[in-house]
Amino acid sequence: MKILSKSFYLKDPAVAAKELLGKLLVRKLGNEELLGKIVETEAYYGLSDPASRVTKKAAESFSLKAGQTFIYMVHNSWLLNIVANKKDKPQGVLIRAVEPLNNLEILKKNRKGKDCFLLTNGPGKLTQAMKITKEHHGIMVYAKDSDLTIAEGTKEHFIIISNHRIGIRNDLKRKLRFYIEGSKWVSKI
């Protein structure tokens, strides 16, 4: 399994968000390795983004370098972001949904018996299922020994749909949400 290099994250967040679709999220949990295919992402543009208070907080945390995680709690849920930018700007990609590929029993246990696509079809759900918390804030996802990494996925072909983002009052005009067409794990069509 090939882990994406740091240079992968040195690009425009919208581009990175699109290219992250189909990649593998690798969560090391003790002796187990939880694999999830990324099926839904959103790009965030930090300071120029109307996402109010979240942006402010993000601006601080995005002083992190490209390729590091940025984890944030909202509405009793953890959200997983990967910092991605060309320059030193507070920008990044939000991982909204993944398709679990193995260790379903562990995911079910963490999700109190939920099943199938209910396991990870939302930002708060996938972090719960994979036991991702604030302790993973600032992890370098390109480092081989990190508990959380992102690796090359299969080379299968899929169609990418773009849409406006979810849950923001005054969204930007650009469509910054991307997901794989037909995936059962996409949170909302």
Q: Per rule CB under 7 A, is residue 118 in the interface with DNA? A: yes
Q: Per rule CB under 7 A, is residue 108 in the interface with DNA? A: no
| Cβ at position 139, least distance to DNA in Å | 16
Evaluate whether 72 touches 78 at the Cβ level (below 8 Å). yes
From CA 103, how far away is CA 131, in angstroms rounded? 13
- Of 88, 164, 167, 174, the one binding DNA by CB under 7 A: 167
Over the window 36 to 55, marking each residue x when it contacts DNA by CB under 7 A and - when it does not, the resulting string is ------x-x------xxxxx
Which of residues 69 and 103 has its CB atom nearest to DNA in the complex? 69
Over the window 55 to 74, marking each residue x when it contacts DNA by CB under 7 A and - when it does not, the resulting string is xxxx-x-----------xxx
145 strand-pairing partners: none
Q: For the chain, give the number of residues.
A: 189
Return the ∠ at Cα 59 (arms to 129 and 42), rounded to 5°: 45
| Cβ at position 189, least distance to DNA in Å | 10
Q: Per rule CB under 7 A, is residue 79 in the interface with DNA? A: yes
Evaluate whether 127 touches 78 at the Cβ level (below 8 Å). yes
Residue with tokens 């991307």: 178
Over the window 125 to 164, marking each residue x when it contacts DNA by CB under 7 A and - when it does not, the resulting string is x--------x------------------------------
From CA 126, how far away is CA 182, in angstroms rounded? 19
| Cβ at position 7, least distance to DNA in Å | 22
- Concatenated DSSP letters of 26-39: EEEETTEEEEEEEE
Contact stretch for DNA (CB under 7 A) within 14-22, 23-31, 75-83, 175-183: 75-83
Instruction: Determine the size of the site formed for DNA (CB under 7 A).
Output: 34
Per-position b or e across 104-130, b if 16+ CB within 10 A of its CB: eebbbebbeebeebebbbbbbbbbbbb
- Residues forming contacts to DNA in the complex (CB under 7 A) are 42, 44, 51-58, 60, 72-77, 79, 81, 92, 94, 111, 114, 118, 122-125, 134, 166-169, 187
